[in-house]
């Protein structure tokens, strides 16, 4: 199975900060990488597909980059509604696997 | 708009069975692969199973293979997960999710992603 490692597992940030979350795949998954946002009691939401493509309706402050084994999700100017848990997920090969999540908390 | 609503969860004893359902609306259900994904308490997301749009092809995580069966009724726009021989480690919130292929113009490849999820349904396996 492809291993997905996310870091940090949690971070504290303030409204207006820039936040970067890293996801590492082993082995390489080219660009078969998606990012999701999860809030308590709500359905997870697709943010980014194919490493760098913004899902329709997702604010432009979200962006994704990377290929091969190393990927990042960035949020510029963090907003109150962005405090949530973020997961990366590979769809390169079955079984599809997720990172363990990064919880973004209010400082 | 797209809606996925899970039902059928609850408390069951180890070794017992449960059948989850997912009612879909707002899109052409028979056009899409569908998946089940779960989240154990305090843990991350784990893909469980998926089924092709016609229902002819299925796939399972090793952790549930031989115990869980995914199926669908396209006429009723419904997805199901029959869970047998349940274990304590199957305790989780179970989500149904729609799978969509996205075309990446940069690489010329099609990449699957879970574009819509239900709110989830809790399954607790405990004596």
In the predicted structure, residue A41 carries a pLDDT above the cut 90: no
- Which whole number is the average pLDDT over A59-70? 97
Q: Does A90 touch chain B (CB under 8 A)?
A: no
Q: Which residues are CB-contacts of B68 (< 8 A; sequence separation ≥ 6)?
A: B48, B49, B60, B81, B82, B83, B84
What is the per-residue pLDDT for B105?
87
Mean pLDDT of chain A: 96
At B57-85, the pLDDT tens digits run: 999 999 999 999 999 999 999 999 999 99
Contact B20, B8 (CB under 8 A): yes
What is the per-residue pLDDT for B106?
83
Q: Does B118 touch chain A (CB under 8 A)?
A: yes
> A with B: how many residue pairs have Cβ under 8 Å apart?
74
Rounded CA-CA distance B39/B47 in Å is 9
At B13-27, the pLDDT tens digits run: 999 999 999 999 999
In the predicted structure, residue A50 carries a pLDDT above the cut 90: yes
What is the per-residue pLDDT for B31?
97
Rounded CA-CA distance B109/B78 in Å is 30
Give which of B79, B75, B78, B18 is closest to B50, Cα–Cα.
B79
C-alpha distances (whole Å) from A105 to each of A13, A59, A80, A82, B36 are 6, 19, 10, 9, 28
What is the per-residue pLDDT for A106?
87
């Amino acid at each position: 199975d492809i291993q997905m490692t996310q870091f940090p597992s949690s971070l504290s940030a303030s409204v207006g900060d820039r936040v970067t979350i890293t996801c590492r795949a082993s082995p390489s998954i080219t660009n078969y990488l998606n990012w999701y946002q999860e809030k308590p009691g709500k359905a997870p939401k697709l943010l980014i597909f194919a490493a760098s493509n913004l899902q329709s309706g997702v604010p432009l402050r979200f962006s994704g980059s990377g290929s091969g084994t190393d990927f990042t999700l960035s949020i510029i100017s963090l907003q109150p509604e962005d405090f949530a848990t973020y997961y990366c997920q590979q769809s390169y090969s079955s079984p599809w696997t997720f990172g363990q999540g990064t919880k973004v908390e209010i400082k | 708009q797209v809606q996925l609503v899970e039902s059928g969860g609850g408390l069951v004893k180890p070794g017992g069975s449960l059948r989850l359902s997912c009612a879909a609306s707002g899109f052409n259900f028979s056009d899409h692969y569908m998946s089940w994904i779960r989240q154990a308490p305090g843990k991350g997301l784990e893909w469980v199973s998926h089924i092709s749009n016609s229902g002819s092809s299925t796939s399972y995580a090793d952790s549930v293979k031989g115990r869980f069966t995914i199926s669908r009724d396209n006429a009723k726009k419904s997805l199901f997960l029959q869970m047998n021989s349940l274990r304590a480690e199957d305790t989780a919130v179970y989500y149904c999710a729609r799978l969509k292929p996205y075309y990446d113009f940069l690489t010329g490849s099609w990449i699957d992603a879970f574009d819509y999820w239900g709110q989830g349904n809790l399954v607790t396996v405990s004596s």
